[in-house]
Amino acid sequence: MKIAFAVLRIYFKWFIFGIVLLFIVNTFQRNWSTVLTVTFNNQSYYLLIIAFLVTFFSHIWSALVWVKILKLLKQPMTKKWGLKVYLTTNIFKYVPGNIGHFYGRIFAIHKQGISFKIASFTVLLEPLFMANSALMITLSSYIVGVNKTAYNPWLFIIQMIIMLIGLLAIHPFFINRIFFYFKKNNQDSIQNNIYFEHYPKTILLGEIVFILLRALGFIFTWIAFMPISILQIPLLLNTFSFAWLLGLIIPGAPSGIGVFEATIIFLLKTENFPIQIVLSTIVIFRLISILAEVAGAGLWLLTKE
């Protein structure tokens, strides 16, 4: 039964990837002639450099937030160790399965004397915080009436319930009980100190800043092709957040490739944005994201520690 479920899961991931890839390829084929009309100027290059720098810094910030999670759980790892492990494993997310970076961090923590189960749960806390943060940003658009794309009151209610469940799931009342379950038969003094003393508001805020930085990199990439008004920034911000959230939680291609792009296209096609700008932006932003992650990994691979 377990083998059948594992095989079904693999086929389901490839099915999702195939659907979104077909959608994106079809969209590009129908609009390729207009994409070729997009041009660069000197200002565009400067804006793309800024987009790269912001995206690069967002990954460093995310690494610092991850280190903060370890610190709250009273782990003995140094900040430099955490930054190097996080940034060098970040590129493993492009390995099929989208979990290679998690494995890398779990084994790195395990080598520090932490049990495999606790190391796994510690690492998997991060995407839970990220998902909550992305959903909070997305729902804020409905509350202020900015993001009217595909607005549905029932969808809003469902998302609100999911967000409340997610925020409740990271409460120390539940998190600590899971840790205590893993540590029940473990006498290691370091591992017995693993617990949240209070609600992790700083981690949640840190992940919100991370997603806002990623969105800012996307917006700088966008305005490299087309100027936008201040009123359009919240729409792009919240569209990005929702697309990034789906890329995080929907099984499919590594690092959400395809899911993120397809969501952006779907949400913005009903707006007055030129389709060639949408397509050019998502392609260039994906390249910027990959280069930023490779640069982050390369920077720390050059260090001796």
**For residue range 69-103, what is the model confidence (pLDDT) as tens digits?**
888 887 777 888 889 899 988 888 877 666 778 88
In a domain, 25, yes or no: no
In a domain, 52, yes or no: no
In a domain, 269, yes or no: yes
Into how many domains does the chain fold? Answer: 1
In a domain, 31, yes or no: no
Q: Is the pLDDT of residue 292 over 80?
A: yes
In a domain, 264, yes or no: yes
Domain range for 134 is 57-301
Q: Give the tens place of pLDDT for each residue, 113-166.
A: 777 877 888 888 899 999 999 988 888 866 665 545 445 676 677 778 888 888
Local structure of 115: helix, strand or coil:
coil
In a domain, 113, yes or no: yes
Q: Is the pLDDT of residue 212 over 90?
A: yes
In a domain, 239, yes or no: yes
Tell me if the pTM is above 0.75. Answer: yes
Distance from the first to the final alpha carbon of the chain: 45
Q: What is the DSSP string of 123-184?
A: HHHHHHHHHHHHHHHHHHHHHHT---TT--HHHHHHHHHHHHHHHHHTSHHHHHHHHHHHHT
In a domain, 76, yes or no: yes
